[in-house]
Amino acid sequence: MFYLVLALAYVNLLTVRAQSSPPSSAPSAQSSVGSAVGSAAPTSSGAVTSALPPPATTFSFSLQSTNPTAAPLSEIVSGAPLSATQPLASTASPGATPSSIPNAPPLPDPATLNPAAYPPLDRPPPVDSPEVQQWKQEVANSGITIPGFEPTVAGGCPANPGPVADASRCWWTCGGCTRESDVTNCPDQMTWGLTYDDGPANYTSNLLQYLDQANLKSTFFVVGSRVISFPRTLQLQYLTGHQIAVHTWSHPPLTTLSNDEIIAELGWSRKAIKDVLGVTPNMMRPPFGDIDDRVRAISVAMGLTPVLWTRISPLATFDTDDFNIAGGIASVQQVLHNWEDIVGNATTMNSGFIVLEHDLFQQSVEVATGYILPDALAHQPAFRIEPVISCLNKPLGDAYVETNDNATNPPIGGGAGHTTAVVTLASGAPGSASATGAASNTNSGVSFAPSPLAFVAAAGLLLVAFA
């Protein structure tokens, strides 16, 4: 049942993007004649403001294949009318277990979920609850030292010259520093660790339908607030073989938070997933990729391996920028241009890769199912497209505490009495990109926003759904 609530566009909900100057976008390493060719001026509509530098006047791209039922590019814009959402292919029965994970515990009954037992949706959770006190003790018992860095301030890299200059902080957002605990690539060439952030949401069902038809599986980094709103969608994702991982409770930039606030964000998202699925994920992705050694240490102490996305230079990452179509900051042509650059650079790497995409908005799902995924499936030589846990050559069960085989995925973090499993992969190992061009010509620094739903609210329309 869906409830539609109109909301005003408040200034404090507008996206703030603080970035350094972007590099010039290099042409893709691969050039081929495709079934779709685009060259159009980027759109710039919508209520969201940004500090982005003026975009290029045109973005060209060529695709090897597109979905015959894809929404026209001219309709994938900010403020587009809402298109139809596909109903879930099925609904899970309480007690069901996924066939892809041996010995998984039975699925809980979503009808017993009590939203009042959780913090307010899409707001930073309080730090004085009994649950947070328990998770703080878990971190204390882990034996992992939490660095004493002060939180960063809002405004990204330009507003934080001290943290940017402090190499010991290892702030991925500003400079791309990684540690051994970070997953940024897949080890095998031509392997794509498919990921989607910020759901589950209204259009996740459309994405799931396409993935099912194409026999593809993904990692979904889910926001705890959305888990409570869409528990049946999450159960279907899990039961059909997709990997579920933590993406915080309310989607803040984690380096700006206190230790207790970070613990609350991760803990409530982890708990929501466990309450809906019966299993505890052991991977997380920090919103906006905003992570430093303090956030890393807390994550690992809570049994959560940080997963980012591939970076080929301090300023260029494998970010399609699909999230920003809905807010009018990026055009679909720009996103597909970014995608073409990603593909060109990925084929020159001696490792696999991970790309940042989203399933929160209609536009990001439409560009994925209509254009990006069909193009990837038509690529030759073929990509191996799979969830992150699979691209690390681990069984799907290793993605959860309760089903992890410690023989293949030994735990490295977690408090006393709390068995955890954390996958580790050396930064960039075993390969790195040899290309020099920009993978995403708009992702040259930090991109902070208050909450994924802030984009919707800023446009004057807030969707709150319960499934």
Q: What's the chain look like in SS3?
A: CEEEEECCCCHHHCCECCECCCCCCCCCCCCCCCCEEEEECCCCCCCCCCCCCCCCCCEEEEECCCCCCCCCHHHCCCCCCCCCCCCCCCCCCCCCCCCCCCCCCCCCCHHHCCHHHCCCCCCCCCCCCHHHHHHHHHHHHCCCCCCCCCCCCCCCHHHCHHHHHCHHHCCCCCCCCCCCCCECCCCCCCEEECEEECCCCCCHHHHHHHHHHCCCCCEEEECHHHHHHCHHHHHHHHHCCCEEEECCCCCCCHHHCCHHHHHHHHHHHHHHHHHHHCCCECEECCHHHCCCHHHHHHHHHCCCEEECCCEEECCEECECCHHHCCCCCCCHHHHHHHHHHHHHHHCCCCCCEECECECCCHHHHHHHHHHHHHHHHHCCCCCEEECHHHHCCCCHHHHEHHHCCCCCCCCCCCCCCCCCCCCCCCCCCCCCCCCCCCCCCCCCECCECCCHHHHHHHCCEEEEECC
Residue 152 structural domain: 2-75+134-465
105 within some domain: no
Looking at the domain assignment, is residue 234 inside a domain? yes
d(CA 317, CA 311): 4
Residue 125 lies in a domain: no
Does some domain include residue 283?
A: yes
CA 197 to chain centre: 3
In a domain, 120, yes or no: no
**CATH assignment at residue 22:** 3.20.20.370
Nearest to 363 by CA among 87, 122, 72, 121: 72
Instruction: Please give the positions annotated as active site.
Output: 197, 358
107, part of any domain? no
Angle, vertex CA 186, rays to CA 185 and CA 190, nearest 5:
110
d(CA 157, CA 32): 37
* Structural domain includes residue 93: no
The backbone torsions φ and ψ at residue 14, rounded to the nearest 5 degrees and listed phi first, read: -70, 145
In a domain, 310, yes or no: yes
User: pLDDT (tens digit, 0 to 9) for every residue of the chain, 467 residues total?
Assistant: 333 332 333 223 333 233 333 333 222 323 222 335 453 333 323 332 333 444 445 899 999 999 999 999 999 999 999 999 999 988 889 999 999 999 999 999 999 999 999 999 999 999 999 999 999 999 999 999 999 999 999 999 999 999 999 999 999 999 999 999 999 999 999 999 999 999 999 999 999 999 999 999 999 999 999 999 999 999 999 999 999 999 999 999 999 999 999 999 999 999 999 999 999 999 999 999 999 999 999 999 999 999 999 999 988 999 999 999 999 999 999 999 999 999 999 999 999 999 999 999 999 999 999 999 999 999 999 999 999 999 999 999 999 999 998 765 655 554 333 333 333 333 333 233 333 334 554 333 333 333 344 333 333 333 333 34
Number of domains the chain contains: 1
Q: Cα(159)–Cα(153) distance, rounded to whole angstroms?
A: 7
